[in-house]
Amino acid sequence: MSTSRTLGIAFFALALAGALPAPAAEPARFVRALNLNGPALTIDGRAWEAGATAPDFKATGKAFANQKVALKPATDVARAEMIRSSVWGAKVELAVTGLAPGPHQVVLYVWEDNHSEQFDLLVNGKIVMEKFHSGAAGSWRRLGPWRAEPVDGKITVAARGASHGACNLSGLEIWAGDGPVPAPTAGEFVREPSAEQIAFFEAKVRPLLADHCYECHSAGAAKIKGGLVLDTAAGVREGGYTGPAIAPGDPEASLLVQAVRHASEDLAMPPKKKLPAHAIADLEAWVRLGAPDPRTGQASATAKKKNEIDWAKAREWWSFRPIAKPAPPAVRDARWPANEIDRFVLARIEAAGLAPAAAADPRTLLRRVTFDLTGLPPTPEETAAFLADTSPDAFARVVDRLLASPRYGERWGRHWLDVVRYADTAGDNSDYPIPQLHRYRDWVIEAFNRDLPYDEFVRDQLAGDLRGGATLAEQHERIVATGYLANARRFGSRVDDYPQHLTIEDTIDNLGRSFLGLTVSCARCHDHKFDPIEARDYYALYGIFNGTRYPWPGIELDKRQRDFVPLVPPGEVAQAMVAIKTRGDELTRLNKQVADLRAKLKEIAGEAAAATETQEGAKPEAKKEDKATIQARLKDAEKAERELGNTPLPFATAYAVAEGAQPADVPVQLRGDPAKPGEIVPRRFPTVLGGAALPAGAATSGRAQLAEWILAPENPLAARVMANRIWQHHFGRGLVPTPNDFGKQGKPPTHPELLDWLATRFRDGGWSVKALHRLIVHSRTYRLASGRNADAVTRDPGNELLAAFPRRRLEAEAIRDAMLALGGNLDLTPAGAHPFPPAHEWKYTQHNPFKAVYESDRRSVYLMTQRIQRHPYLAIFDGADPSTSTPVRPASTTPLQALFLLNDTFVHAQAGRLAEKLIAQAPGDAARIARAHELLFARPPAPDERAAAEKFLASARAQLGADGEAEAWRAYARVLFRLNEFVTID
């Protein structure tokens, strides 16, 4: 992208923001340019010196040239020659001396001849670009301009490759002054075309462009493709995302010519049908002439305007409108509603000419609300107590009891963990364990249990580390809460060129879905196709997370945890960080020592074998001693490694984030490619949500502000999205059935006024989640029976109106937890950490990735969850996807589930325990059958059910013979676990 285009867009952005652009500065003055490994030549009409012989200039690095590589984008002949000859090396330094004092600017040409490398660039010793990727073969970039003040007349430009990275530096331009550095002119365009040239253009070129290109590449296009317009001379010269369309005089170097030739499948235009040969020849001739073009008009401004979003119109979408405070509507049957919710629901039922179902019977209601709030069945004693309680607030007492139970947080915390794609491993190719992350899981569960207000819940997860706290414990809890961000997915196996942009994408993607119900990350590569989210909005958020330090969980080639946060008093953090690093370095050293010694032993063994084979006689004694010494040293080293590895740090650490070293605004990445930076965008909230921005030059990441922008009264999404999630888990479906997508691709709310009423109550009521539960479960709507008559089914097939309670299947966790509870072996002691092997033993690679299943009798929320390997049970029963947000659990019905219930050892073991319990707790068949029904279904058996069970037991006993009594009951228990009633919330 040319500098003028960048400035143009920056100007445009300023104009948008309502600010006046600063007066244009005097353009910078050309001082000199150096072809670092090549002859003197003329580029952009300026004289370049030969690097090898130029005075006042020195370059380190090796000479390299390969003029055969096709450059991308193509460029003019002289520039291409300069680019394809370069100085390269892991460390290269260029020094220009004899410069006058005062501000200067530096422009650097770099290129890549084969495979992408990565390096840092420094001007006068200061990093100006970190971890620059050189791109695919043929890529080149004109980097800068960077400001620099000569020191004693000298400016240095240096490149430092990361571990294996080597850079290819091709050319250097030095400019004086602060003003804009002109863009390269890419050869010589004909500035004043002759009459003859104009005639050629009008006869041959203009019709061709108009007929075959304007549809996608002009101001009149419905949507301009690739940022390229061809209906003005400026547009042709400036080019699109992939660079200038034409290198004047050089058809071979012109993208436009390459495209119409269909030279590469990646760039073939027009895409469907290749132009006839004579048309291609005309374009080539035109380029050779220097692309004479009489057309006037702007390029980029036109192009930009075309794709601009109409913000006022965009904000009319239902979910972006301010939350209304609707009054509950009047209803005909005024006695029916128990609270306001019911008036919203009944109004729609009445309008549809339907009648609500009858109230659920108390047993059904108790089983429903107990599973709903705690994920476990009511005990027969709880059922009996509820039935015996005839006071008007009997149900309220049950709700209070359930909400006060620690089992509540385990149930509802899991719902949140689904949304934030919680996993105990990192998701890189070797799927490294993160033993510390359970603290975040426990924090979520505890946050629900103590009814942490949702606004605090948001602040802690996004910026808890920046919030401090009344006590040290609170400070640490808040640090742990940022495990939400740390838990973003890791990718691949690379270390130096780790694709951090993908981890940030995963962060933004999840943040958008979880807190805003928006698919923001669709705007990574291009403006969102459906919702008013621009690529600029995406990179405005990107800057916040680019300025955030993520912990490093370890990866195949860099196994050690890095940047975990020590949970120590603030004054001791620095010291603790040193301790972590020292221990890590020492372990790395010992690992290497052990590996080296083992290799040496192997070598000796090999030599010995070779010696035997060639029968060269007895080995010299010295060798034997050598072996013994090495063995002894190995033993010592292994011991030291083991001892250090098993000695934990004297403090705990959290998988949490911190502020990055230099938080700053970042450029848009064109088409999502980090190697193609565009304009720099200030860190801010998406424009459609108000666009609140960080103050210019903010030195913090902006996470604290982001939390406030999300929670601000002007943002209607935070309250709507969370209120909808709470409703969703009570009724199995949200008022908005797509809880992670409130945009155009989602579904609109079935009861928009009710959603806004709930959101208002939620926000104005101090963001209390438990208060919202109470409101919902005390509605009559929640307490309806699930049975529906034929009329209701015909007229409201999806039960959208909620004229009856929507029956649903239990989630994987509830089914397993209920089987454990019924077996009497559910372990309710605090779960804590998973039994991962000690970190110093981790040798996971993509060939042998970490893979484990830790069996336990704890609740399923505590099962170790891997990003890549799914827990076998959870995979069968639609458990959450641990690599991406799961807003709604599907409830699939598969034969594999049935096979599990038929034959899995867990089911058989639990059924065995349940059978023992039945035999021990009740005397005789009838009592045991009754007890079983109370335990599983919170109701007594009907006579025909008892009869069927008795008949079954009789047949089983007959079949099994004398010793079959226990097995008959086990078989009965297995039957019960397979019943629809067991896995259904009715």
Partner 1 sequence: MKAPVLHTRREVLRSLVGGSLLMPGILSSLLAESAASSDPLAPKPTHFPAKAKRVIFIFSNGGVSQMDTFDPKPALFAADGKMTGVGGGLSNQQRVLLKPGWEFRPGGKCGTPVSDLFPHLRECMDDVCLIRSMKGDDNEHYNATLGMHTGSFFFSRPSIGSWVSYGLGTENRNLPSFVALAPQMPYAGLQIFNNDFLPAYHQGVRVVGGKEPIANLERRTTQRGLQELELGLADVLNNRHLAARAGDTDLAARIRTFETAFHLQTEAREVFDLDKESDETLALYGLKRGQSEGFGWQCLVARRLAERGVRFVELVDGSSAKNWDQHGDMAEHAIHAKNIDQPIAGLLRDLKRRGMLADTLVVWTTEFGRTPGVDGTKGRGHHSACFSSWLAGAGVKPGIIHGATDEIASTVVEKKVHVHDFHATILHLLGLDHERLTFRHGGRDYRLTDVFGNVVHDILT
Q: What is the DSSP letter of 937?
A: H
- Residue 738 touches partner 1, criterion: CB under 8 A: yes
Choose among 447, 524, 437, 543: nearest CA to 484: 437
Nearer to partner 1, 543 or 746 (CB): 746
User: Tokens for 974?
Assistant: 């297995």
Cβ distance to partner 1 smaller for residue 408 or 844? 844
Residue 204, phi then psi, degrees to nearest 5: -110, -40
Paired tokens of 872: 């076998």
Q: Is 980 in the site for partner 1 (CB under 8 A)?
A: yes
Binders in 619-648 for partner 1, by CB under 8 A = none
CB of 214 to partner 1, least distance (A): 23
Question: Is-contact 684 880, C-beta < 8 A?
Answer: no
In angstroms, the CA 717 to CA 703 distance is 18
Q: Are 891 and 808 in contact (CB under 8 A)?
A: yes
Interface with partner 1 (CB under 8 A), residue from 153, 766, 798, 872:
872
User: Of 750-779, which residues contact partner 1 (CB under 8 A)?
Assistant: none
What does the block give as tokens for 810?
Answer: 């239990």
- Name the DSSP class of 466: G
- Binding to partner 1 by residue 359, rule CB under 8 A? no
Whether the upstream peptide bond of residue 326 has omega within 30° of 0, thus cis, is: no
Helix segments in 841-921, DSSP class H:
872-876, 895-903, 905-921
Asked if residue 981 binds partner 1 (CB under 8 A), the reply is yes
Quote the least distance from Cβ 505 to partner 1, whole Å. 9
Q: Which residues pair with 86 in a beta bridge?
A: 64
Instruction: For the CB of residue 101, give the shortest distance to partner 1 in the complex, in Å.
Output: 44
Do the bridges between strand 167-176 and strand 29-35 make them parallel or antiparallel, or are there none, so unpaired? antiparallel
Near partner 1 in 157-186, by CB under 8 A: 164
Measured from the CB atom, is 535 or 698 closer to partner 1?
Answer: 535
- For partner 1, the closer of residues 314 and 948 by Cβ is 948
Virtual CA dihedral for 732, 733, 738, 744, nearest 10 degrees? 180
Question: Rounded to whole angstroms, how far apart are CA atoms 323 and 754?
Answer: 11
Does 278 interact with partner 1 (rule: CB under 8 A)? no
Which residue bears the tokens 């065995």? Answer: 912
Q: Which residue of 896, 926, 927, 966 would you call a contact of partner 1, by CB under 8 A?
A: 896
Task: Report the helix count and the strand count for the chain, using DSSP H and E.
Answer: 34, 21
| Residue 241 lies near partner 1 (rule: CB under 8 A) | no
Question: Residue 97 burial (CB < 10 Å; 0-12/13-18/19+)?
Answer: middle
Instruction: Enter the tokens of residue 439.
Output: 């603290």
**Does 392 engage in binding with partner 1 (CB under 8 A)?**
no
Give, as one character, the DSSP assignment of residue 18: T
In order of 195, 199, 203, 251, the CA distances from 286 in angstroms are: 14, 11, 11, 9
Residues 704-733 that bind partner 1 (CB under 8 A): none
Positions in 472-491 near partner 1 (CB under 8 A): 491
User: Site map for partner 1, 924-953, x if CB under 8 A?
Assistant: --------------------xx--xx--x-
Only one residue has tokens 């890095």, namely 562
Does 745 interact with partner 1 (rule: CB under 8 A)? yes
> In the complex with partner 1, which residue's Cβ is closer, 605 or 947?
947
Decide whether 530 or 854 has the Cβ nearer to partner 1: 530
Across the strands, what pairs with 141?
Answer: 110
Assess 979 for contact with partner 1 (CB under 8 A).
yes
Smallest CA-to-CA distance from 953 within 980, 926, 913, 921 is with 926
**Least distance to partner 1, CB of residue 423, Å:** 12
Give whichever of 309 and 785 is closer to partner 1, judged by the CB atom.
785
Decide: is 960 part of the binding site for partner 1 (CB under 8 A). Answer: yes
- The answer to the question of residue 500 lying near partner 1 (CB under 8 A) is no
CB of 794 to partner 1, least distance (A): 10
Distances (CA, A) of 538 to 226, 528, 545, 713: 19, 10, 11, 22
The amino acid occupying position 705 is Q
Between 564 and 836, whose beta carbon lies closer to partner 1? Answer: 836
Could you say which of 97, 339, 493, 921 contacts partner 1 (CB under 8 A)?
493
- Rule CB under 8 A: say whether 849 interacts with partner 1: yes
| Interacting span for partner 1 (CB under 8 A) from 15-23, 470-478, 771-779, 866-874 | 866-874
**One residue of 875, 920, 926, 966 binding partner 1 per CB under 8 A:** 875
Q: Among residues 311, 397, 530, 607, which is the contact residue for partner 1, using CB under 8 A?
A: 530
Tell which positions 795-814 bind partner 1, by CB under 8 A.
807, 809
**Interacting residue with partner 1 among 602, 857, 959, 966 (CB under 8 A):** 959
Residue 119, CB half-sphere, CA atoms under 13 Å: how many?
A: 26
**Binding residue for partner 1, selected from 578, 894, 927, 966, defined by CB under 8 A:** 894
Given the complex with partner 1, which of 650 and 895 has the nearer CB atom? Answer: 895
Indicate the residue among 760 and 786 with the shorter CB distance to partner 1.
Answer: 786
Of 375, 465, 974, 985, the one binding partner 1 by CB under 8 A: 974
Write out 309-357 in H/E/C secondary structure.
Answer: CCHHHHCCCHHHCCCCCCCCCCCCCCCCCCCHHHHHHHHHHHHCCCCCC
Query: What six digits make up the tokens of 55?
Result: 């005075």
Q: Which residues contact 566 (CB under 8 A, 6 or more apart)?
A: 572, 573, 576, 577, 579, 580, 649, 651, 652, 653
Sign of CA dihedral 434, 440, 444, 445: positive
String marking each residue 428-457 x if it binds partner 1 according to CB under 8 A: -x----------------------------
Q: Which is nearer to partner 1, 401 or 526 (CB)?
A: 526
SS3 for 858? strand
Candidate segments 154-162, 232-240, 681-689, 965-973, binder of partner 1 by CB under 8 A: 965-973
Is residue 851 part of the contact set for partner 1 (CB under 8 A)? yes
For residues 87-146, which are near partner 1 according to CB under 8 A? 114-115
Q: Is 380 in the site for partner 1 (CB under 8 A)?
A: no
Among 893, 923, 924, 962, indicate the residue that binds partner 1 (CB under 8 A).
893
Site stretch for partner 1 (CB under 8 A), options 303-311, 399-407, 717-725, 875-883: 875-883
Number of residues that bind partner 1 (CB under 8 A): 82
Among 118, 449, 487, 740, contact with partner 1 (rule: CB under 8 A):
740
Q: Of 789, 786, 826, which is closest to residue 807 (Cα–Cα)?
A: 786
Q: 3-state class of 766 per DSSP?
A: coil
| Residue 903 contacts partner 1 per CB under 8 A | yes
CA distance 337 to 342: 5
Task: Choose one: 313-321, 537-545, 611-619, 741-749; the region binding partner 1 (CB under 8 A).
Answer: 741-749
